[in-house]
């Protein structure tokens, strides 16, 4: 059985690349012939805008200006550490060449819609594929290009928001009505699907949990310049509180601080921090596997901390309304005490360690449920 997966990838983001890899790798492990449909996300510099890629919803003037300036700002930011960033991007490309099953590239929506596919099943993958804030058409991520009569399912799809704007509801209802099975990544998304479409969605694990620690290590790549006994910082959004918290924990546990830099333009020189600017997905995995402690504000930073059984803290931004991704996961696993609101008092050193016995038992149960959902959905049960 051949399965085509559409998701977000090739966006210079560790979580996006690794969740995309995990979905197709696990399906191929089960014996299916799965590949990622290489439709370029609108923020990929090689994506080409056409009339068909026009956003389906109305956006504020501020949003339109922000999206217009985004590619310009990226180019300006990348002027710093240009050679290092080039090496990092090459590592992202190399990861997929070595490990991922990917179709030919579709640079425009038109190319996608004008193509003929021989997939038996079309699957919307994980990440924020249904986020109404995407400044391009969301139709491809609802499998609008799939031929009539083909099985459509989703696995761990995310809306990325707690509520769907009223002007999106009608269109989302129409798209969701075509799905035979809907798997979502957050518990809150189960309610969203029900309220706007009347359909029942299933809360499943992020695809990065479908692979075990040992399977992730098979695609990791050692960084020789990083010593043992370090605290790993992974900030998706730069946050001074995270660095202060990390310094507090590092001092208590006598650890060095290593930081994976998502955006080198926001990194200030600091002799007390080892900044890793050129890590690809494989190096990202290695750093998580070797860390003695992790501090992050990323969902996938949280997910890999759990999967590798690392002591960690997840910092939730105080001004961000939607933290449901991290909270859903940690509440499920009984690890809500690992959440810290930005600006809160630092924890004492007696609470640093984690007993993963219960969380691992829950994770094993939920992993089996998620796998069963995936298999049953593909087989139309």
Residue (of 158, 222, 219) closest to 192 by Cα position: 158
Is the model's pLDDT at 379 over the cut of 60? Answer: yes
233 in the same domain as 145: no
Q: Is 38 helix (H, G, I), strand (E, B) or coil?
A: strand
94 in the same domain as 199: yes
Angle at which helices 299-307 and 14-29 cross, to 10°:
50
235 in the same domain as 163: no
Residues 354, 338 contacting (CB under 8 angstroms): yes
206 in the same domain as 230: no
Element (H, E) at 340: strand 339-341
* pLDDT tens digits, 258-274: 999 876 445 566 678 88
Residues 52, 110 contacting (CB under 8 angstroms): yes
Q: Count Cβ atoms below 10 Å from residue 3 Cβ, excluding itself.
A: 22
The number of CA neighbours under 13 Å toward the Cβ of 41 is 21
Q: Which residues of 266-297 are buried (b: 16+ CB within 10 A; e: fewer)?
A: ebeeeeebebbbbbbbbbbbbbbbbbbbbbbb
Domain range spanning residue 304?
220-362
Residues 283, 304 contacting (CB under 8 angstroms): no
Residues 234, 209 contacting (CB under 8 angstroms): no
Confidence of residue 76 (pLDDT cuts 50, 70, 90): low
Domain count across the chain: 2
pLDDT at 59: 80
Please state, rounded to an integer, the average pLDDT across all residues of the chain. 91
The CATH number of the domain where 73 resides is what? Answer: 3.40.50
Q: Count Cβ atoms below 10 Å from residue 215 Cβ, excluding itself.
A: 14
150 in the same domain as 26: yes
* pLDDT tens digits, 120-162: 999 999 989 999 999 999 999 999 999 999 999 999 999 988 8
Q: Which residues contact 35 (CB under 8 A, 6 or more apart)?
A: 2, 3, 4, 5, 24, 101, 102, 103
* pLDDT tens digits, 11-31: 989 999 999 999 999 999 999
Angle at which helices 187-197 and 166-176 cross, to 10°:
90
131 in the same domain as 36: yes
Which comes out higher in pLDDT, residue 364 or 77?
364
The number of CA neighbours under 13 Å toward the Cβ of 140 is 28
């Amino acid at each position: 059985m051949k399965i085509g997966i559409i998701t977000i990838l090739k966006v210079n983001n560790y979580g996006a690349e690794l969740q995309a890899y995990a979905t197709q790798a696990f399906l191929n492990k089960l014996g299916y012939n799965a590949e990622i449909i290489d439709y370029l996300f609108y923020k990929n510099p090689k994506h080409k805008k056409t009339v068909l890629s026009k956003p389906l919803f109305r956006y504020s003037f501020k949003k339109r200006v922000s999206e217009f300036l985004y590619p310009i700002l990226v180019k300006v930011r990348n002027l710093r550490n240009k050679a290092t960033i080039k090496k990092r991007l090459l590592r992202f490309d190399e990861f997929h060449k070595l490990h991922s099953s990917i179709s030919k590239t579709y640079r425009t929506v038109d190319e996608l819609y004008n193509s003929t596919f021989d997939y038996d099943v079309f699957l919307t993958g994980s990440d924020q594929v249904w986020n109404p804030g995407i400044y391009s058409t969301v139709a491809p991520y609802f499998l609008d290009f799939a031929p009539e009569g083909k099985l459509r399912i989703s696995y761990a799809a995310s809306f990325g928001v707690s509520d769907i704007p009223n002007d999106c509801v009608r269109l989302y209802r129409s798209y969701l009505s075509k799905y035979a099975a809907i798997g979502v990544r957050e518990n809150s998304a189960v309610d969203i699907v029900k309220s706007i479409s009347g359909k029942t969605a299933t809360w499943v694990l992020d695809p990065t949990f479908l692979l075990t620690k040992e399977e992730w290590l098979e695609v990791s790549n050692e960084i020789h310049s990083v010593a043992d006994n370090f605290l790993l910082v992974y900030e998706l959004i730069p946050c001074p509180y995270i660095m202060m918290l990390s310094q507090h924990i590092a001092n208590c546990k006598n650890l060095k601080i290593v930081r994976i830099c998502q955006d080198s333009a926001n990194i200030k020189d600091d002799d007390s921090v080892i900044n890793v600017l050129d890590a690809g997905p494989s190096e990202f995995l290695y750093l998580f596997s070797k860390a003695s402690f992790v501090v992050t504000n990323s969902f996938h930073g949280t997910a890999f901390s759990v999967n590798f059984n690392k002591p960690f803290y997840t910092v939730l931004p105080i001004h961000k309304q939607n933290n449901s991704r991290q909270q859903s996961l940690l509440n499920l696993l009984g690890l809500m005490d690992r959440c810290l609101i930005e600006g809160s008092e630092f924890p004492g050193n007696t609470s640093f360690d984690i007993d993963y016995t219960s969380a691992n038992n829950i994770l094993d149960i939920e992993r089996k449920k998620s796998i069963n959902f995936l298999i049953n959905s593909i087989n139309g049960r």
